[in-house]
């Protein structure tokens, strides 16, 4: 299966961002991708207004998503990304959405909110309260995660024990001392923890690192971006997963009970 990762800088204008997403969907489909992963919180973003993502929140039947659903109609490529969806006045839920064939096929409300490194996502965002079901794409079982979830191995392990072959991660990883090192290390660690492929897309504006990656089940980076907008392509295969799980049977060798959501 071919996977695509679209990396771009989100602007304050949701219409402009929708056009970028549609163009990436078109390119990925033309290149034969079955899966396209786009960044986190791609509705709107402004360096001078950290709350714009929440202020710009739209319902799942809003104009932004309708444009992407229209592009998705009539083909079987699955596109994943996160948007902010209104909850209560002044607040929103950071929601991962998977679309295919013109409809929403899965959604996931971000469990771990980024209350770290002097940022408090929970100030305006409500957390999710459940682990999403797996999504099947071309015979692969795909688990959903979002950005800060990467620092919590319990979620990745839970998804793998449910049968995930691939973990997807839309992200907007904030720049800062050691943060790029954390990103690359954690992506490889989650792949090795679970013997899953990890497909991660990073927003590449002035405050976020970009650096989208596809990591294989033995922790090898098979596709990587720097800080500029790009569409990455990579091939993933079941034989590589089987080999990893034969050589490194961590899912069978573990001595702890499966992690459960608090």
Quick check: is 147 catalytic? yes
Query: What is the 8-class DSSP label of residue 238?
Result: H
Angle CA 196–229–176, to nearest 5: 75
Dihedral of alpha carbons 71, 37, 161, 221, sign: positive
| Dist CA 85 CA 64 (whole Å) | 11
CB 139 within 8 A of CB 174: no
- Please give the Cα distance from 158 to 242 (Å, whole number): 19
Catalytic choice (147, 196, 203, 204): 147
Instruction: Give yes or no: 196 in active site.
Output: no
235 closest CA partner among 98, 35, 72:
35
Contact 203, 41 (CB under 8 A): yes
Q: Is residue 110 flagged as an active site residue?
A: yes
Residue from 21, 110, 196, 203 carrying the catalytic annotation: 110
158-164, long-range: CB within 8 Å, 24+ apart, which pairs? 158/131, 158/258, 158/259, 158/260, 158/261, 159/131, 159/134, 159/194, 159/196, 160/193, 160/194, 160/195, 160/196, 160/251, 161/251, 161/258, 162/134, 163/134, 164/134, 164/194, 164/196
Which residues are the active-site residues?
A: 40, 110, 147
């Amino acid at each position: 299966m071919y996977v695509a990762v679209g990396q771009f800088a989100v602007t304050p204008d949701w219409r402009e961002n929708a056009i970028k997403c549609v163009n990436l969907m078109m390119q990925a489909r033309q290149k034969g991708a079955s899966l396209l992963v786009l960044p986190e919180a791609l509705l709107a973003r402004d360096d001078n207004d950290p709350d714009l993502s929440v202020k710009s929140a739209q319902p799942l039947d809003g104009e932004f998503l309708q444009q992407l659903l229209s592009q998705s109609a009539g083909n079987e490529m699955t596109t994943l990304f996160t948007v902010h969806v209104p909850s209560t006045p002044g607040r929103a839920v950071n929601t991962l959405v998977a679309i295919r064939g013109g409809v929403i096929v899965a959604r996931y409300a971000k469990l771990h909110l980024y209350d770290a490194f002097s940022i408090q996502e929970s100030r305006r965002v409500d957390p999710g309260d459940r682990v999403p079901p797996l999504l099947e794409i071309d015979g692969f079982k795909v688990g959903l995660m979002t950005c800060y979830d990467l620092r919590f191995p319990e979620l990745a392990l839970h998804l793998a024990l449910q049968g995930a072959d691939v973990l997807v991660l839309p992200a907007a990883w904030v720049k800062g001392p050691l943060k790029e090192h954390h990103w690359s290390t954690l992506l490889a660690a989650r792949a090795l923890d679970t013997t899953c492929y990890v497909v991660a897309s990073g927003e590449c504006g002035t405050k976020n690192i970009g650096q989208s990656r596809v990591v294989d089940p033995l922790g090898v980076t098979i596709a990587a971006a720097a800080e500029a907008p790009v569409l990455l392509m990579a091939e993933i295969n079941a034989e590589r997963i089987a080999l990893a799980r034969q050589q490194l049977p961590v899912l069978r060798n573990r001595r702890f009970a499966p992690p459960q959501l608090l």
